[in-house]
C-alpha cells in the first residue's frame, strides 16, 4: 500500500500534472494540501474518471485539503477539534484499510513573532491536544502533510542562514518534536538518515536546480505502522518541468 502526500499549490492550476502523476505512480492514497478551491468547484470528475475517490474540504483562495484513494475512504473529521471558529481548511481525517489517516496543512507562520506565527504554534498545540485526547499511539495511525517545519539541520540546505527563521525556529522544531514524542516516527528518517533530502524549493532564484530546499512535508507513523513501512521516497521528478508545484510528493510504502 502506497500512501503519498503532496502540497499541490492550486489543484486547478496543477490538474493536468496531477492526473499524469496519479496515472504514473498510482498511489493507493494521496493526501493533498493547498487545493485552493471551494468544494463545489473541486475537479472530482477528472479524478474519478481515473479511478480515484475524493474527499475534500476547501475554501476560496487559500488552504484546502483533499484525500484521494483507489478504495473509498470513510471521512472521520474535516476540521481540527478546537478550530470550530476557524474557517481555515487545514485538516482532514479518514479511515481506510484499517488505518486512520490524518492529512494536515499546517499554518506557514509568515514571520517569527508575528500574529500568524502565534497562530501556527497554537494550531500545533491543538493538534497535540487532539492526539492526547482522542487517539491511541498503539493504533494504526498515519499523520502526513505539509507541516511547514524543517525539524533538524539536515533538513535545511543552509542551516546557518535559516536558523531562527520561520519554518526553522526553535519553537516550531519543539512543536514538531512534541508530535513525535506522542508516539510517532518520522518515516523518512527511519530509512534515510542523510542530509540533502528536501520536499520544497522556492520558485525564485532557480532554487530547485541549485539544491536550495527544505524538508517540510512529512509522513509520521504510529509504532504499529512504522513496523510495516518498508520504503519512503521524495519524488523530485514531480518538481521538474513546466508549471510544477513548489513542493515534491512524498510516498511511503506500507506492507
Partner DNA sequence: ATGGCTACTCCTAGTAGA
Per-residue binder mask for DNA (CB under 7 A), 84-123, x = binder: -----------------------xx-xx----x-------
Active-site residue identified among 105, 124, 130, 198 = 105
Among 23, 170, 202, 237, binds DNA (CB under 7 A): 202
Q: Which stretch binds DNA (CB under 7 A): 10-18, 19-27, 121-129, 130-138?
A: 10-18
Among 32, 47, 101, 216, binds DNA (CB under 7 A): 216
Per-residue binder mask for DNA (CB under 7 A), 160-179, x = binder: ------xx------------
Stretch 37-56 residues interacting with DNA (CB under 7 A):
none
Among 95, 191, 209, 243, binds DNA (CB under 7 A): 243
How do 250-254 and 2-7 pair as beta strands? Answer: antiparallel
Whether 6 contacts 22, CB under 8 Å: no
| DSSP code, position 56 | E
**Cβ density class 72-103: b for 16+ within 10 Å, e for less:** ebeeeeebbeebeeeebbbbbbbebeebbbbb
Is residue 203 flagged as an active site residue?
no
* Smallest distance, DNA to C-beta of residue 25, A: 20
Tell me the backbone φ, ψ of residue 227, rounded to 5 degrees. -65, -15
User: Interface with DNA includes 148 (CB under 7 A)?
Assistant: yes
Is residue 39 flagged as an active site residue?
no
Q: Which stretch binds DNA (CB under 7 A): 7-15, 76-84, 129-137, 231-239?
A: 7-15
Strand order of the β-sheet with 217-222 is 74-77, 91-96, 99-105, 141-146, 217-222, 184-186
* Cβ contacts of 28 within 8 Å, gap of 6 or more: 1, 2, 3, 69, 70, 71, 97
Among 5, 7, 69, 253, binds DNA (CB under 7 A): 7
Among 10, 44, 46, 178, binds DNA (CB under 7 A): 10
Residue written as cell 487545514? 90
Dist. CA 91–CA 233, nearest whole Å: 23
Residues that bind DNA (CB under 7 A): 7, 9-10, 12-14, 34, 36, 60-62, 107-108, 110-111, 116, 146, 148, 166-167, 200, 202-206, 214, 216, 243, 246
Amino acid at each position: 500500500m502506497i500512501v503519498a502526500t503532496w502540497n499541490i499549490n492550486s489543484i486547478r492550476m496543477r490538474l493536468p500534472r496531477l492526473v499524469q502523476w496519479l496515472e504514473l505512480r498510482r498511489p493507493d492514497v494521496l493526501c493533498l494540501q493547498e487545493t485552493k478551491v471551494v468544494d463545489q468547484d473541486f475537479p472530482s470528475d477528472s479524478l474519478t474518471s481515473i479511478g480515484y475517490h475524493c474527499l475534500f474540504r476547501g475554501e476560496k483562495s487559500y488552504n484546502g485539503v483533499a484525500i484521494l484513494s483507489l478504495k473509498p475512504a470513510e471521512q472521520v473529521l474535516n476540521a481540527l477539534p478546537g478550530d470550530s471558529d476557524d474557517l481555515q481548511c487545514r485538516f482532514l481525517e479518514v479511515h481506510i484499510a484499517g488505518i486512520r489517516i490524518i492529512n494536515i496543512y499546517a499554518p506557514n507562520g509568515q514571520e517569527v513573532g508575528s500574529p500568524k506565527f502565534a497562530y501556527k504554534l497554537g494550531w500545533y498545540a491543538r493538534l497535540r491536544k487532539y492526539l492526547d485526547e482522542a487517539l491511541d499511539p498503539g493504533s494504526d495511525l498515519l499523520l502526513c502533510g505539509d507541516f511547514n517545519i524543517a525539524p533538524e539541520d539536515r533538513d535545511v540546505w543552509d542551516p546557518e542562514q535559516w536558523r531562527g527563521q520561520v519554518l526553522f525556529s526553535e519553537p516550531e522544531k519543539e512543536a514538531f518534536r512534541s508530535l513525535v514524542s506522542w508516539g510517532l516516527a518520522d518515516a523518512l528518517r527511519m530509512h534515510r538518515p542523510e542530509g540533502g533530502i528536501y520536499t520544497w524549493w522556492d520558485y525564485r532564484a532557480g532554487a530547485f536546480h541549485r539544491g536550495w530546499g527544505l524538508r517540510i512535508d512529512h509522513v509520521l507513523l504510529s509504532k504499529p505502522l512504522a513496523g510495516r513501512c518498508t520504503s519512503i521516497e521524495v519524488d523530485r521528478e514531480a518538481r521538474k518541468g513546466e508549471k510544477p508545484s513548489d513542493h515534491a510528493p512524498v510516498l511511503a510504502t506500507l506492507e
